[in-house]
Amino acid sequence: MVDDENIKKRVFASELNESFIGKKVRVAGWVEDVRPLGSLIFLTVRDVSGIIQVVFIKGNTPQDTFLTAKLVARQSAVVIHGAVKESKAKGAKVEIQADDIQVLSKAQHPLPIDPTGRVSSSLDLRLDARALELRNPYTSAIFKIRHTALQSIRKTMLDNKFIEVNTPKIIGQAAEGGANLFSLDYFGKKAFLAQSPQLYKEQLTLSLDRVFEISTYFRAEKSHTRRHLNEFVSVDIEAAFSYKEDVMNILEETVVKTIKDVLKDCENELRILNRNLKVPKTPFDRMTYSQAIEELKASGLKIEFGDDLDTRALKRLSKRHRDFYFIVDWPTSLKPFYIEIKKDNEEISESFDLMHDYLELASGGTRVSDREKLEKRLLDVGLDPKDFSEHLKVFTWGMPVHAGWGLGLDRFVMFLTGMKNIREVVLYPRDRFRLIP
């Protein structure tokens, strides 16, 4: 009989190898296949690590155990006990000759989707049954890569002496200006869900020097595209005594190290996804916004200095810039109030976007660190400095020159995994039409 203590002593399918031959083991997972063949029953059991073949031989197990194995519903949660033997099955070195099976939880039939992926389902159906879909090695590979990316990013941050912080997500004031905010009732007052940690991370540089945060943010954007969600995860950094070039270098290092770590630690997952990931060439190409406009004009697009680079423009640019590249020095009018403007040209800001192909992965810049200048910038963009008094006050406490960026984690994982729709790389995506599960 299998009890809770015994489940704790289980081994993972991927750990089983020839060194276990002759030993009794316990595995816990979900039944993928059941094939009764006369006096034999072949079961395949998948756990989070991989798959193992299990054989029941009539006469070797009690009659009721044999019957349980024969009738077990696919995808039920089971615990198997038995001896490890050499396997004749293709691609497997060992299998388990079972003496016991316990069905912990029977799976219904039919299930809303086929988690083996043999029967394909639409994205919507898969998202409706997300927890079940994650039994599919293809889907779980995406989230193992996402996990590896997060670990790697944290390591790069620590190597660069950044401190991890957590800033509020229920806020009383817009960080990126007034648009695109979700509002809520906060004990009778109007509050908002944070669009970014922008103002907090800037404030923290005046004491903690270098901070980073990995968190969820909210944008009430109506756009329904394959690269926007209303709830997304951003990796944010802010560094005191730094300019945009300094933080661009950290961004490049973060991207390259993450790719290397994913190549090293997720070989199997990349193979499952058929993703041919490569370490990009460094330093990443850099072009100014003005150069991008010239290039686009030369290609026949009707575009002027001051126009935003929409999808059509970015797609056109990406024909010549396939790998990672920075677009720097955007018009001041296209960037938020907190971005510094060039000393010699008020029309241009100390800003950058990191692109891959036509996907914007990150944006950042040198910040305005002078209080008067910041007040003027707020007025220039039609915001009232009075609404920002809590933020402005810190600028008289010895605010250092500082710079930073925000990297869209979900978009970065799209790149790492080769997924074309952001919903594939987010466990429970939130878009205009999806609030559940």
375 forms part of the interface with ligand AMO (CB under 6 A): no
234 forms part of the interface with ligand AMO (CB under 6 A): yes
Residues 6+ apart with CB under 8 A from 163: 208, 209, 210, 211, 212
Residue 232 CB, shortest distance to ligand AMO, in Å, is 4
Residue type, 164: E
Check residue 331 and report its DSSP letter: B
Sheet holding 170-171, edge to edge: 170-171, 189-193, 183-186
- 100 or 176: whose CB is closer to ligand AMO? 176
Reduced to 3 states, what is the DSSP secondary structure of residue 41?
A: strand
Choose the stretch contacting ligand AMO; rule: CB under 6 A; options: 53-61, 67-75, 150-158, 229-237: 229-237
66 forms part of the interface with ligand AMO (CB under 6 A): no
Among 404, 414, 419, 425, binds ligand AMO (CB under 6 A): 404
Task: Give the DSSP H or E segment for 247.
Answer: helix 244-265
Residue 430 CB, shortest distance to ligand AMO, in Å, is 10
- 232 or 337: whose CB is closer to ligand AMO? 232
- 124 or 308: whose CB is closer to ligand AMO? 308
Among 219, 275, 377, 402, binds ligand AMO (CB under 6 A): 219
Residues 6+ apart with CB under 8 A from 413: 142, 145, 146, 149, 419, 425
362 forms part of the interface with ligand AMO (CB under 6 A): yes
Note if the bond before 36 is cis, omega within 30 degrees.
no
Residue 361 CB, shortest distance to ligand AMO, in Å, is 5
Among 307, 323, 357, 360, binds ligand AMO (CB under 6 A): 360
Look at strands 324-328 and 285-288 and give their pairing. Answer: parallel
Among 377, 402, 411, 423, binds ligand AMO (CB under 6 A): 411
Residue with nearest beta carbon to ligand AMO: 408
Residues 6+ apart with CB under 8 A from 331: 289, 305, 306, 347, 348, 349
Residue 186 CB, shortest distance to ligand AMO, in Å, is 22
Residue 407 CB, shortest distance to ligand AMO, in Å, is 6
Strand partners, 218: 231
Question: What's the Cα-to-Cα distance from 47 to each of 14, 56, 208, 300, rounded to whole Å?
Answer: 9, 19, 43, 54
331 forms part of the interface with ligand AMO (CB under 6 A): no
Question: What's the Cα-to-Cα distance from 391 to each of 53, 186, 187, 311, 380, rounded to whole Å?
Answer: 61, 20, 23, 34, 17
How many CB atoms within 10 Å of residue 74?
18
Among 66, 192, 232, 395, binds ligand AMO (CB under 6 A): 232
Among 212, 325, 326, 405, binds ligand AMO (CB under 6 A): 405
Rg of the chain over all Cα atoms, to the nearest angstrom: 27
Residue 260 CB, shortest distance to ligand AMO, in Å, is 21
193 forms part of the interface with ligand AMO (CB under 6 A): no
Q: Which residues bind ligand AMO (CB under 6 A)?
A: 176, 196, 198, 219, 221, 228-229, 232, 234, 236, 360-364, 404-406, 408, 410-411
